[in-house]
Structure 1
Amino acid sequence: MLKRKWVTTTLALILTAALVACGNGNNGGSPSSTDKGNSGSSGKKTEVSFWYLWGGVEGEYVEELISEFNASQDQYEVKGLSVPDMQKIIVAISSGEGPDVTDNFSNNTASYVEKGMLEPLDTYIERDNYDVSDFVPAALDSGRYDGKLYALPINVNFNMMFYNKSLLAAAGYDAPPQTEEELLEYAIKLTETNADGTIKVMGFPDFPNVYYTNSMAFAMGGDFISEDGKTLTPDNEGMKKGIELMQAYRKQFGADNILKFNSSAKYLDATDPFIQGNQAIRFDGPWFGHTVKNVLKKDIDYGVAPYPAPAGKPELAGGGEVSASTFFIPSNAKNKDGAWAFMSWLMAKENMVKFNDKFANLPARTSAYDDPALQDIPDFQAFAEAAKNPNLKAFPTFGEQGSYGKVITDEFELAVNFKKTADEALKTMKDKSANLLK
């Protein structure tokens, strides 16, 4: 599932009404209130339509869980449909012909809320005393907008630092870098060049740099919005440090040489430089180890560690950007109670464990991290421990979130390709985003 997130990255939640009395929280998924569309004495289940973005084998996993929910109670019958096209789902919802529940990515929550597409979940949560206290705070917050909760996360996506132990050992290092200064020192020493100056072994996490920009800014102590939530702050100190680090590395070895190295590789296939042993340090997510070990079946001696912290600020260690795969109920859903019944069942601890075990992902509930079923997922404990760190943050959630992200990415690219200085890029980020927060 997280592989899907790299191109852009989950499911939805639900509990119910009338019948069964059991909705007393405890992360449980039993219906607890009345639903006017329930089966009543007829014994016929009411239908809940669930459209999901997964396909192929992953879609089969989803269908297995749907079948388990349908067999677990006699009030609702969830009908699943694989629709691996976000835009198609959104168009259907807008026309009133969409599903009762669906999945999406946390970075879309705010814009969908502003379009009036999402049903607030707070009433359901309060009604059923549904426990969300053990959700990773930043992941849960990614489903909030204007004080209300509109989506629930089923997993947590954030990146850590992967490092090739053999390459580090050959360079005289017995541990990964702890600060941004050490990261640059290591990267320079670990880089090998060919006779013509092109890169043979990359020492810096410049590939794939889609995982670098915001995460590095957060790790360096930055944030993208003021504490009062009223001002966007793309020109934060963390972003400046992140830009300057990449600039320093590219200046050392030549931006053209590094871009040539990056363009010759493909993410997570046989030409991926880390998989080939030609990249020493890499920023990537919890899906990386699973793909390397279980999908590609490569034997690489690597370690996993948090991002480096700002020099002299160890209290900021373990920072980074959190996102999530989320489920939501459309505001015009025909069977909202049924949607909540399914969604809340799926988000219960034991079912969230089943879901993430199949997808080799990190659950959004920290109470699931000791579950034996998840321990065989590569690097699971490293990510599970890191997920508890309060220094992890979510990108600001608001209607123009996508535009804000594009401004940052565009200016970052100009700066690290030496078309602008860091300060010039930061100023433009600030100027172009000044009116985005309404």
Structure 2
Amino acid sequence: MKEDGNMSKRYWRSALALVVLISLFAACKAGGTTSGTGGAAGEPEVLRVWITWGDNPAQLQELFNRYAEANNVKVEVNSPVEDDKVIAALSGTEPPDVLVLGGPDNVASWVNEGLVTPLDEYIAEYGIDLDDIYPAMLAQGRYQGKLYALPWGSDTYGFYWNKDLFEEAGLDPERPPETMEELLEYADKLTKVDENGQITQLGFVPDFSWGHMEQYIRLYGSFWFNDDGTKVQLDTPEMAAALRWEQQFYSRYGAEEVLRFVSSTGEYDSSEHGFMAGKIAMMVDGEWMVGDNFIGGLAPDLWYGEGPIPYPAAHPERKGTNTVGGTVALIPSGVKDKDAAAKLLAWMMTPEIVADEMVANFNLPSSKKAAEDQRFYENEKFVVFMDLASSPNATYQVFTPISSDLLDELDLIEQQVLHEGADPEPLLQAAQAKLQPMLDEVVGK
């Protein structure tokens, strides 16, 4: 599910360091009803589900009421839950029975702290069909050979372009740039600068509305961790090349001027958003953007297209590469009745429930059977993302206990390279030297 981009991620990274210091009192105050237990004699068992996102809490509660009615239990849904409450509950004695996160970024770190339950035995016992889950989505919840989180729907990113602005620039509105090199050429044609040297329209900004390095580095054929999460891979030709490619979109017009122009555009969820307002001609963004909360409702008359993010010209086999990621569900280790929690989680993973929830929120299904639901194909623009998520070139992020530290370093490097014109190689070398010993220490535990 879509959350608030980099700001939310940075909060999680900072707050994680405080997990072991949170008091039991704070954990109890965050909750309410005791997890996985009944109330007074004769009353049904109460299960608590915490969800860190949710524009429509009532819809989520109605969904879980279906489970409650079928199983003679009560399910209390708390959505959206503030980040500090999640961290307090995980480190306390009364966490929610099921915790649903906007992404898996912190799961490996929490596993390393002993805060998350391995799911493998419950998957078998409660008949969760792993073959029904898209492999790239399933992989994001696996750490050191065990599954700790399951995808409940997913997100991916694609390429958006404004067809009106293409026509104005003499470009074919039905032919977006195919390669990353061609994207740079299109961006030049779609950028306008007035007589005072001020930008009035931008072709493309690689880190709008936030960074997308997890997409670009996969398109360049690498990632910042190896597949088993034991090696840091920052000091590589691929990382340097991806950053230099991004840098060009700033250096051609002056980073300060690009930043000024981008900051003058509207909020992400407003009709004055840079792309929706016709001020930025092309962008990378997620499938939710086509829904009623964004373009569908805020700019319904916008003439635009979407497709895969352009690939490096030297590697046409990478066409359609996209990095999926999004909502995951887990069972905290402090849950008292893990069987009751696992039974609820298994229900959440059924194709019918996955389909109903993802249709309601304009998100991608993690279940192959759910993806057969024709409601996903009623919006032709959403179908583009359905195809991307099920593509053989769909891939995933590798997460480790030092993911937060690495992403902090990478955020800083990306800012220095794009916004300050720095050479990426020495920055990547320094980060590699700093982070590999940190990873060695935690992997060796």
Q: TM-score range by the shorter chain?
A: 0.7 to 0.9
Native 8 Å contact 2:226 2:398 kept in 1: no
Shift of 1:189: 1.2
1:142 to 130, 140, 143: 140
CA distance in 2, matches of 1:391, 1:433: 29
Instruction: Give per-residue Cα distances to partners, 1:23-68, cap 9 Å, x unaligned.
Output: xxxxxxxxxxxxxx999xx98632212222245x521111011111
1:212-291 alignment to 2 at 5 Å? 212-227=212-227, 229-265=229-265, 266-290=267-291, 291=293
Q: Which residue of 2 aligns with 1:78?
A: 75
Q: Which residue of 2 aligns with 1:155?
A: 153
Q: Could you tell me which amino acid in structure 2 is paired with residue 435 of structure 1? A: P
Shift of 1:165: 1.3
Q: Could you tell me which amino acid in structure 1 is paired with residue 132 of structure 2? A: D
CA distance in 2, matches of 1:158, 1:432: 30
Instruction: Give per-residue Cα distances to partners, 1:293-338, cap 9 Å, x unaligned.
Output: 4332431111111111111211111223322211111111022111
Structure 1 residues 247 and 79, CA, compared in 2 at 3 Å: closer, same or farther? Answer: closer
1:29-68 alignment to 2 at 5 Å? 45-54=44-53, 57-68=55-66
Shift of 1:351: 0.5
Native 8 Å contact 1:293 1:378 kept in 2: no
Shift of 1:4: 4.6
Moved more, 321-330 or 286-295: 286-295
Instruction: Give per-residue Cα distances to partners, 1:71-124, cap 9 Å, x unaligned.
Output: 2233x3322233521221221231202211111221111011111111111001
Q: Which residue of 2 aligns with 1:371?
A: 373
1:34-433 alignment to 2 at 5 Å? 45-54=44-53, 57-74=55-72, 76-82=73-79, 84-104=81-101, 105-174=103-172, 175-206=175-206, 208=208, 210-227=210-227, 229-265=229-265, 266-290=267-291, 291-377=293-379, 379-433=381-435
Q: Could you tell me which amino acid in structure 2 is paired with residue 274 of structure 1? A: F
CA distance in 1, matches of 2:295, 2:264: 23
Native 8 Å contact 2:96 2:332 kept in 1: yes
State the secondary structure of the residue aligned to 1:339. Answer: helix
CA distance in 2, matches of 1:3, 1:120: 26
Structure 1 residues 312 and 253, CA, compared in 2 at 3 Å: closer, same or farther? Answer: same
Structure 1 residues 370 and 170, CA, compared in 2 at 3 Å: closer, same or farther? Answer: farther
Structure 1 residues 239 and 293, CA, compared in 2 at 3 Å: closer, same or farther? Answer: same
Moved more, 400-409 or 88-97: 88-97
State the secondary structure of the residue aligned to 2:106. Answer: helix
Native 8 Å contact 1:164 1:281 kept in 2: yes
CA distance in 1, matches of 2:7, 2:381: 22
Native 8 Å contact 2:240 2:425 kept in 1: yes
Native 8 Å contact 1:412 1:425 kept in 2: no
Moved more, 378-387 or 114-123: 378-387
Native 8 Å contact 1:214 1:239 kept in 2: no
CA distance in 2, matches of 1:281, 1:38: 51
CA distance in 2, matches of 1:339, 1:373: 29
CA distance in 1, matches of 2:4, 2:418: 26
CA distance in 2, matches of 1:405, 1:176: 31
State the secondary structure of the residue aligned to 1:50. Answer: strand
Matched positions, count: 407
CA distance in 1, matches of 2:116, 2:147: 10
Gaps of 5+ in 2: 10-35, 441-445
Q: Which residue of 2 aligns with 1:16?
A: none
CA distance in 1, matches of 2:188, 2:366: 36
CA distance in 1, matches of 2:333, 2:109: 14
Structure 1 residues 437 and 302, CA, compared in 2 at 3 Å: closer, same or farther? Answer: same
CA distance in 2, matches of 1:156, 1:179: 26
Q: Could you tell me which amino acid in structure 2 is paired with residue 167 of structure 1? A: L
Identical aligned residues as a percent: 29
Structure 1 residues 235 and 214, CA, compared in 2 at 3 Å: closer, same or farther? Answer: farther
Native 8 Å contact 1:327 1:343 kept in 2: yes
